[in-house]
Each structure stands twice: as C-alpha cells, then as structure tokens.
Structure 1
Amino acid sequence: MTTTPRPPRTLREAWIALAGLSAVFLFEMLDNSILNVALPTIGRELDATTTGLQWVTGAYSVAFGGMMLLFGAVADRFGRRRVMLIGLVILGLASLATLFVTTTEQLIAVRAVMGIAAAMTTPGSMALAFRLFGNDDLRVRAITVISTAGLVGLAVGPTAGGLALAVVPWQVLLLINVPIAALAFVGIRAGIAADDPADRHHDPIDIWGAVLGTSAIVLALVTPTLFVNAGTGSWMPWAGTAATVAAGVGFVLRERTARTPLLDLRLLALPLVSSGLAYKAAAGLAIAGLSYLVTLQLQFAWGWPPAAAAVAMLPQVVVLLASGRFVGPFVQKFGLDRAAFVSSAAVVLGLAVFGLFGRFGYGYILFALVLVAIGMRVVGVVAGTNVLKGLPESRTSMGAALVDTSSELATAIGIAATGTLLAALFTGSIASTDWSASQMGQFETAVTIAGLTLTALAAALVAVGLLRSRDGVREHGNEAVVTTAD
C-alpha cells in the first residue's frame, strides 16, 4: 500500500523542485530575449530574408501557442511530470541541433521543435507548482519565485546576448538552453513525485478536437503577421481571418458534441476559471500593445537610437523584478479575488495613460510602464492561481495551458490591432527617417487611437473577470491566506 507524500510546509522544503520549475520559466523568457539581439548576425551568416528572420522567432511562438492545449490534455492523462521531463529532453536535443544548422529553414525547424518542447514543459510547471503545496499562500509564493526566474531571463537576455556575440558564435546563445534543461530535469525528477494515477484524467484524447483547436490557435497567431506584412489591402490576412474563425467555430461545435472533448467547454464557465482567464488576457493584451507602441514612439517618432530606447524600457523590468517580494503580502491582505482585479485594473490604467498622454513626453510613458509592470507582477500569479483553484484535480495541466494560451492569443490580438490601425492611418513608410508634419500628426493620432482601443478591450476583459470572480467568491469563498514562514 502506497502513502501520499506530505506536502511541503515551507518553500525551503521544496527547493529542489522549485529550482527545476524555475529553470523551465528561465528558459521560456530567456530564449527569445537573448535570440533577438542575434537576429542581424544570423541574417548575415545564413543569408536570411526579412521574412525568414521573422519566422526564426515566429516559428517558436506559433508552435508554443498552438500546441499548449493539446499537451495540457496529454499531461492530464499521462502524467504532468512525465510529459514535462520528455519535453525537457526534446528541448536539450533541439538546442544541440543548432550546432548543425546551415540554412534559415533548418533554424526555423529547430525553433519550431523548441516551441513544441516549451508547450510540453511550461504549462506543466505552473500545474506542478500548484499541486506541490497544500495552501494558497505557499502556492502564490512558489509561483512568484518561479516567475521571478523568468523575469531575470527577460531582463538579462539582451545584454548578455550582446556581450556574448562579441566573443562567441550566435549558436552559443541557443546552446545555453542545454544546461538549463538539464537543471530543470534534475530538479523536477528529484523534487517532484510522479503523478498519482487517481488524479489523472482517463478519457481518450479527442483527436479531431486537437486538430481543430491547434489549427485555430496557430491561425490566430499567424494571421496578425499577415496583416503586418501583407497589409489590409491583401487577400491573405483576410483569408487567414476567415480560416481562424472557421477553425474556431469547428472546434466549439466539436467540443460541444464529442463524447470525450479535448476541452470540456463547461470548465470555461466555472467562475474562477473564466475570471482568471479574462484577467490574464487583459494583462497580455495591454503589455503587448504597450511594448509595441512605446518602441515605435521612441524610435520612429522621437528618433531615439535602439540603445536609448532599450534603456527607457528598463524601469519596467526593474519594477517587475523588485516587486516580487510584495506579491505575497499584497495577496494576503486583499485576497486572490481583489488582488486579481486591482492588478488587472492597474495594467489597463497604465495603457490608458500612454494612449492619452504618451505623446507629450517620456515622463508619461515612464508612469505607464511602471503601472503596467506593477499590475503584471501580481496578475501573472493570482490569475493563474485562481484558474487552477477553480478546476478539478484532474484538469490542472489543461488549466495552466489555458492560462498561457489566453495570454498568447491576447498578445497576438494586441499586435494585430495595433499594426492594422497604424497601417490604416499612417501613409508612407513608417521606417523612413524624414517624416513630414502631416505624417507625424497621423502617427500620433494612430498611436492614440490604438492605445485607447486596446484600453477599451482590456477594460472589457477586466469587467468580465470582476463579474465572474464575484460568482467564484460566492462558490468557493475568498478565504484568508495563512502565511507560513520559510
């Protein structure tokens, strides 16, 4: 007879597991940030086109976002720990394959495989962290520790990559994933017990649902790129939009009628689940739109060099890193429900400040960046915790996948909406260095409209989150979080 291991009573007791799970998030955030700085070098060495370079990063995001729901379902059925360990092995092998890349197409293929590996590992890290502990306080603090590791990767990636390129080939920037994957494998293998078969979901996987769901997500992530590259006058982005809608409708119809659906749509109607997803989507929409618009504002409209623009974005990274210690006390004081609403509202307010006042000086942009960073630091933890808390034990990997998928889709929508509005309202080449007074006015108008449009969309999502969370409070209670010392 087997006995269930006692849940850790402090974070220190679970340090091996947390080290492994933190390494997973470190990989996710470090990977793209460290690679972006090498794109010019990769373009020269592999003779890559602009579109080819775009897909060096895009292939990873599309594979990652498109496969998360499928692997969330697989993990809930075959074991979250097992799927994550397999994904880490694939990640290490794909990173090693970079040594043999000689063409852009080969690198794109490697990046796609790495995206699949990320889809196998990233959602599971949140699910395993949630299930590792027995109370909300430790869960919030554990997810805060894990997300901090990812933010460190995001912060140091560009600087470390730029310094490394001065002395080593660009392939080294991807080979760094190998020791990170090894650390994650060891930590998870040694620190987390195998899934209890009784906690797994035992229904067969809905293959048609997986095909339609993956197609809908991939098309939703690819279509914004078509709008940016081909423009609104081309048939391609509109065909992509139609295909996205068709695949999405087909997925919903399939899941409503399948005996064992990939995603039981009734789960999305659970109050805490729909609330957490709405908050997370609002934050993803805001951060994607703000980052994109601020970059254009600083470099194109104000003529700042890339280095100065990067420095201007640093306050946001500093706030993200420094505010981690306050997440736990904040959640303890206000509870998960209020913390999710307040943090999401701060993100939306920051986006509104930029939309209304960003054109008048960097001080307003700085204030917007700080507001969004403060909100993001909290909502990333509490929204995911609420989703997992509101789901059955056998669906936590799917819940984590839903959280990441909602953020990825919101990011794509934010970029698509912003790019489409700019393309529609700005005449001429936005990359030219000699804007006329008319073009400057068009750009400022476009940025204001885009910022306020995204603000309205994000605010609507926060309103949905608030309404659904009230139902969740009545159903689950907004119980106090008990602090446990490390």
Structure 2
Amino acid sequence: MRTLTPLSLREAWVALAGLSAVFLFEMLDNSILNVALPTIGRELHASTTALQWVTGAYAVVFGGLMLAFGALADRHGRRRIMLAGLALLGLASLATAFVTTAEQLIAVRVAMGVAAAMTTPGSMALAFRLFDEDGLRVRATTLITTVGLVGLAVGPTAGGFVLAVAPWQVLLLVNVPIAVLAFIGVRAGIAADDPADLHRDPVDGAGAALGTATIVLALVAPTLFVDEGAGSWIPWATSAAAAATAALFVLRERTAPHPLLDLKLVAQPLVSSGLAFKAAAGLATAGLGYLVTLQLQLDWGWPPALAAAGLLPQVIVLVAGGAFIGPFVRRVGLDRAAWLSAAAVVAGLAVYGLLSRYGYVWVAIALVLVAAGMRVVGVVAGVNVLRGLPKHRTTIGAALVDTATEVTSGAGIAITGTILAALFTGAIATPGWTARQAGQFEEAVTVAGLTLTVVAAALVAWGISRARRAPTTETTGPRPTADLNSVPAS
C-alpha cells in the first residue's frame, strides 16, 4: 500500500493506470455497444423497445444511483466502494458470455450500471488525493479524462471492426480485463481512506430511493405510451407516479437534516447553467449516436465495419479537439465559448434531422458539429459547476455533472427509441425492409432529430440565461487557464 505522497506522475503510475481504466470503462461502454445494436437485435430477436433498453437500462441505473453511491463513498470510503464496484463490473461483464435473450442482456446492463455508479463518482476524488501539489493534480486529471475521451471516440469504430471478425459479446467481455486492471491499480496504488476524512452524517436513504424512482419512472413512461397506447391507464399512472416521486424528492431534500442533494447549491446560477449545457450535450450525443448507427446499418445496409468507418469524423474531432480547447477558450472567453459550442451541438442535431436522408455528407457534418460542440461544452460545463460550488463541495459537483450526462443520455435514447417504435411498423432489426418501412424510418429520423434539437436548444437557452445571472461573488475565485483542460468532459 502506498504511504508516501508521490512527487511525479511516474511515481503514481500504478494508481493512475487503475483510475484511467475506470474512466475508460465509463466512456467506452455505451459508445462501443451502439454499433452492435442491429446485430444484437437480429441474434436475440429483440423488439424495438427491448433494443432501446439494452443501452437505456445502463444509463437509467447509472444516473439514478450515482449520487447515492457518491454519498455512501464519502461515508464508508471511496476506495472501498470503488473496489466493490469493479468486482461487480467484472462479474457482470463475464455474464455476457452466457446471454441468450434480450431480457438477460438488459439484466446484465442493469448490473453494469450499478457497477458504474459505484466507481465513477470516486475516480476524480481519488485522483485528487493522490497528490498534494495542484499542478500534479491538474496533470493527473488531464491524463485520466483524456484516456476516457479516447475510449468514447474510438469505441464505435473499434466495435464495428470487432464485429467483422468476432461475436458481439466480445464488446462487453472487453470490460473484464479493464475491470481487472482498474482493481489492481486502485488496490495497489491508492491507500485506504483515512477514517478522519470520512463524513459521519447519515445517508439520506429516502432521498436516494425517491430520486432513483423519479428517473426510472420518467424514462419508462414514454415507452409505455407506445406499447400500451394512450387509451391505457398504465402509461398515465406511470407518468403521474414520476411527477409524484419528483415532488416528494424535492420536498424531502428541502426538509431533510442531511439531504442527499442540497438543492440550494444546484440552484446557483453557474451550477444550473453548467448542468444545462452538460444535459444538452449528453442528450445530443446519445440520441444522435443511436439514430446514426441504425440508419447506416439498417436503412442504408452498411456492414458494421463500414458503419464504423462512417463514424470516423466524430472520432477525429473528439480525439484531436482537446488540443484546441484551451486556445479557443482563451481567445473567445469562457462565456462566449459556452454558447458557441452549445450552439454547435444544436446545429448538428438540426442538420441531421432535416438533411440526413439526402446522403452521408450531411450525416458527417452533423457528427462533426455535435462532437466539436460537445468537446468544448464538456469543459465549460465542468468549469461552471465547480466555479459555482464551495471548494469543499467539488466532489458532489463532479457527481452532478456525470449524473446530468447519464440521465440525459438515457432520455435521448428514450426519446429516439419511443419515436421509432411509434412510427415504424414491424421489427426494426428484420432485414429487407419494405418501401413503406423505409419511408417510416426516414420520417422517424426527421421527427426524432428535430425533437432532440428543440429539447437541446431549450436546455442551452436556459443555461445561457442562468449564466448571465451569476454574480462575480458567487464564484470560488478565478481558476488558472491550465485547469480548463483538466475538467472532466464525460
């Protein structure tokens, strides 16, 4: 066990390798799986709704439980919770080899979502406590987040090429060695938490349960409207239950002596604006990735390897874009960078919704715009959230940023999947569509793309209006420009 504070990144390479693997799993997971959705649908005979929940279940569980596990980690040890989560991740990923139905795969994805919620909130906190010197903390965080973003960027392309030579299960089995590497690195490179550094306040169990229930019910309701029909009482009851649990959650957090989430902090202008920008980017990235994957393979008939190559514009922008974020923000300023990059996300969605049916070039333009905007928004959102929080609450700020991403990623998939299920007749993974089905899919792509555009635009507008209300006294002080590239952009 490490007992001395490392004086360089090289001295802490074991721990950094483990924490980088944790972040790699978070960013790689859904991105590498999206390209396999058509193959999974055919082999497991999955319905459109089931295919939607193969990815959506992970995001719902991850987003719903992250704050709860963050609170537990602050009280019982970040390292302890992370190691338990990594063990669960390895076992759940290994179970993929035995999956034979869509329902079994969804159950595996739920377990992986729980594991992600146990590991992600503590990754940045553990990286921070590795070092005493701020410069090393910045460099360590930059290294970890860069590894994760590379995973996000190359995931679809790598997944497509893997599918050309191996079964789709390999895409999830790859998490097993990642989990093992992360476990070894964290176990050997990071000391156990000092009991004196842990919180002693009781965990807000009721708040955690209400928050998770709200997220799950809100994402299930749109699917039920399609499956059961608007004339059924089930979707209406689910929607009412979502609204009720949301109201109870807010009431609980306002009155609890030790709330899971301090709503006064979330209401701070810089915090709420940063979360709105992050939500728009998460919604756009997940929704667009889901639609493009289905369009290239199912509508246009591209094989997985060619579809993976079709996502290369996004890969190039995400990987190479990091070098331009610092100079761009320095040149135009933080506030202007926020609305310019957020506008690029909205513009990319609009291009896709209106023009993608006219050829791949428009799909490529949409991918580039959304990827470029998301790359900058991720940094701006993180900076705004951390600037708007007291210094001793930056850990919960990082958890809030990741929660916003996962919840809106789930919402993006729910919106697109629900619209597809409503407008497309028959099983979407069935080869050899009729002309009518092809027309229905094009209509669904337009409706879903424009719906995402409207929602993302509303979030961006809200974020800009909130940022303009932020007084200078709210911030915790100016941050060095070098910190801009160190903020998690997941």
- Give the TM-score range, shorter chain: 0.7 to 0.9
Alpha carbons of structure 1 residues 312 and 99: separation in structure 2 relative to 1, 3 Å:
closer
Distance in 1, matches of 2:362 and 2:248, equals: 44
Deviations 1:170-197 (CA, angstroms, capped at 9, x unpaired): 6655443232112212333444455555
Do the aligned residues in 1 keep the contact of 2:157 with 2:309 (CA within 8 Å)?
no
Match of 1:291 in 2: 289
Match of 2:149 in 1: 148
Matched, 1:186 2:184: yes
Deviations 1:173-229 (CA, angstroms, capped at 9, x unpaired): 544323211221233344445555565443211111111111112223333443455
Match of 1:93 in 2: 91
Do the aligned residues in 2 keep the contact of 1:71 with 1:120 (CA within 8 Å)?
yes
Deviations 1:252-290 (CA, angstroms, capped at 9, x unpaired): 111111111111111201233212211100111222332
Match of 1:433 in 2: 433
Distance in 2, matches of 1:189 and 1:483, equals: 28
Where do 5+ consecutive residues of structure 1 fail to align? none
Distance in 2, matches of 1:7 and 1:337, equals: 36
Q: CA RMSD in A?
A: 3.9
Distance in 2, matches of 1:348 and 1:386, equals: 20
Distance in 2, matches of 1:411 and 1:6, equals: 37
After TM superposition, give the deviation of residue 24 of structure 1 in Å: 1.0
Deviations 1:133-174 (CA, angstroms, capped at 9, x unpaired): 6269647734542432432562454135425526xxx66554
Alpha carbons of structure 1 residues 184 and 430: separation in structure 2 relative to 1, 3 Å:
closer
After TM superposition, give the deviation of residue 242 of structure 1 in Å: 2.1
Alpha carbons of structure 1 residues 354 and 393: separation in structure 2 relative to 1, 3 Å:
same
Match of 1:212 in 2: 210
The partner residue of 2:265 within 264, 267, 273 is 267
Match of 2:356 in 1: 358
Distance in 1, matches of 2:371 and 2:232, equals: 36
Alpha carbons of structure 1 residues 13 and 371: separation in structure 2 relative to 1, 3 Å:
farther
Match of 1:346 in 2: 344
- Percent of residue pairs identical: 65
After TM superposition, give the deviation of residue 74 of structure 1 in Å: 1.2
Indicate the SS of the match to 1:74.
helix
Do the aligned residues in 1 keep the contact of 2:217 with 2:242 (CA within 8 Å)?
yes
Do the aligned residues in 1 keep the contact of 2:282 with 2:405 (CA within 8 Å)?
yes
The partner residue of 2:366 within 351, 365, 368 is 368
After TM superposition, give the deviation of residue 119 of structure 1 in Å: 0.6
Distance in 1, matches of 2:320 and 2:92, equals: 33
Do the aligned residues in 2 keep the contact of 1:220 with 1:244 (CA within 8 Å)?
yes
The partner residue of 2:249 within 248, 251, 255 is 251
Match of 2:121 in 1: 123
TM-score, normalised by the number of residues in structure 2: 0.81
Alpha carbons of structure 1 residues 84 and 264: separation in structure 2 relative to 1, 3 Å:
same
Opposite residue 409 of structure 1, the aligned amino acid is V
Alpha carbons of structure 1 residues 345 and 142: separation in structure 2 relative to 1, 3 Å:
farther
Opposite residue 146 of structure 2, the aligned amino acid is V
Match of 2:160 in 1: 159
Indicate the SS of the match to 2:311.
helix
Match of 1:481 in 2: 481
Deviations 1:72-105 (CA, angstroms, capped at 9, x unpaired): 2112222323321221122223334556667766
The partner residue of 1:461 within 456, 459, 462 is 459
Deviations 1:330-357 (CA, angstroms, capped at 9, x unpaired): 3455555444433222211211222343
- Alignment coverage as a number of residue pairs: 475
Distance in 2, matches of 1:11 and 1:155, equals: 30
Alpha carbons of structure 1 residues 43 and 248: separation in structure 2 relative to 1, 3 Å:
same
Opposite residue 119 of structure 2, the aligned amino acid is T
Match of 1:318 in 2: 316
Opposite residue 162 of structure 1, the aligned amino acid is L
Indicate the SS of the match to 1:203.
coil
Farther off after superposition, 148-157 or 265-274: 148-157
